[in-house]
Structure 1
Amino acid sequence: MLDTEMLVAPIIIFMLVVAPLWLILHYKSKKQVSQGLSEHEHRQLIELANKAEKMAERVETLEALLDQESPDWRRKV
């Protein structure tokens, strides 16, 4: 009996505070996901994709230079 009495207060607090906030934030995030990317987010995504492409090209160039200068550099790592 004592154990159940100790659980009543946390359950009430959870139901009055945490559960409503949880539900509100959950459905707010669902709404944002269903709307898709904003124009700003879309521009950022394209910008990041371009930067990733440039970075991949740089890595390939560096690897090619290392292959010429030190052919066994990959085995050292």
Structure 2
Amino acid sequence: MFPSEIIIVPAIFIGLPWLIMHYVTRWKTAATITTDDEALLEDLYGLAKRLDERMDTVERLVAMDNPEFQKPRIQHDKETDNVQLRELEDMLAEKKEARR
């Protein structure tokens, strides 16, 4: 065996697969969000829902006091406005079931 073959053969059969697997695992971990990020998103979603409920309450109070008050374009009781919200709630429910 020549000295160059001693270096080339292990490089092909050990080094190359290791290099490929290394970057494959890097790409897989970079493509997902962490559990901390998921928890933060769930907290922000809960906060947004509470703020939306508060805005509904304020709008109802203003509408009672002022008959000229115009309803907002997006209304909480219209199904077309809640489609994306329902999808998000379904995704969160699936995540919670998967954790169990």
TM-score (norm 2): 0.40
Unaligned runs of at least 5 residues, structure 1:
1-29
Q: Report the count of equivalent residues.
A: 46
Q: Name which of 48, 51, 69 aligns with 2:47.
A: 51
**Identity percentage over the alignment?**
23
Q: Cα deviations across residues 7-28 of structure 1 (Å, max 9, x unaligned)?
A: xxxxxxxxxxxxxxxxxxxxxx
Matches for 1:21-32 after TM superposition, within 5 Å: 31=28, 32=30
What RMSD, in angstroms, separates the aligned Cα atoms of the two structures?
Answer: 2.3
Matches for 1:1-77 after TM superposition, within 5 Å: 31=28, 32-33=30-31, 36-74=32-70
Task: Give the CA deviation at 1:74.
Answer: 1.8
Task: Give the CA deviation at 1:73.
Answer: 1.9
Distance 1:71 1:47 in 2: 36
TM-score (norm 1): 0.51
Task: Give the CA deviation at 1:39.
Answer: 1.1
Distance 2:53 2:33 in 1: 28
Unaligned runs of at least 5 residues, structure 2:
1-26, 72-100
